[in-house]
Chains A and B, each alone.
Chain A
């Protein structure tokens, strides 16, 4: 059974600092997703990573995928307050069409 673990679950950081959120998953997967969710809102798609070594960047966020290690990272560069949100990774189970989410990382960036 596919399991997805994120860490840390909570992160409070100062503006201007860099940090990384980690997403580990337990079985082979076709693809990995990163989403952002603001309080009381739906999910916003950030990245879809499709292959080993894939790296995608948008603004201060960069996501990477290592399928051999079953690990994805979401790196935040020079954090700003507007990036405060909950970030989820989700993994598409190989051949079973289920997308399994991690518990999320609640990110709070202090001005």
Chain B
């Protein structure tokens, strides 16, 4: 039990739609990172937020965007969904930007039809 929660657990969308995934970090964790994990692959870094500002971004297009809120929750928004966006989306929180330890949530499994 990491104290990091994600919602929803599963989601089905159709191509072209938009989706918002949510993550609630542990209190005091100022850093949250989002990852996409396709089936049978390692997680791919999407972006990181530190104190409500984007602090690093992986090789994902701008239709992947995020927000971090003062209450240690965050969102991942994906616009214009594509079939290849089907994956497990993981958020991970850390008490500081140095990410000495990341605590992963259970993930949201997104299926795009």
Contacts from A to B (Cβ < 8 Å): 30-31, 33, 35, 41-45, 48, 50, 88, 90, 92, 96-104
The answer to whether A96 and B42 have CB atoms under 8 Å apart is: no
The answer to whether B102 and A97 have CB atoms under 8 Å apart is: no
Top 5 A-B pairs, shortest CB-CB distance: A101-B42, A97-B56, A43-B104, A42-B104, A42-B106
With a cutoff of 8 Å between Cβ atoms, the chain A residues found around residue B56 in the complex are 96-98
The answer to whether A104 and B42 have CB atoms under 8 Å apart is: yes
Q: In whole angstroms, how far apart are the Cα atoms of A45 and B104 in the complex? A: 8
Q: Which residue in chain A gives the minimum CB-CB distance to B106?
A: A42
- Is there a chain A Cβ closer than 8 Å to B33's Cβ? yes
B interface residues, tally (CB under 8 Å): 25
The answer to whether A99 and B99 have CB atoms under 8 Å apart is: yes
- Is there a chain A Cβ closer than 8 Å to B44's Cβ? yes
Q: In whole angstroms, how far apart are the Cα atoms of A92 and B45 in the complex? A: 11
Q: Which residue in chain A gives the minimum CB-CB distance to B100?
A: A48
With a cutoff of 8 Å between Cβ atoms, the chain A residues found around residue B2 in the complex are 42
Contacts from B to A (Cβ < 8 Å): 2, 33, 35, 41-45, 48, 55-56, 58, 90, 92, 97-107
The answer to whether B45 and A42 have CB atoms under 8 Å apart is: no
Q: In whole angstroms, how far apart are the Cα atoms of A44 and B107 in the complex? A: 12
The residue that B90 contacts in the complex, of A33, A43, A92, with Cβ under 8 A, is: A43
Q: In whole angstroms, how far apart are the Cα atoms of A41 and B106 in the complex? A: 7
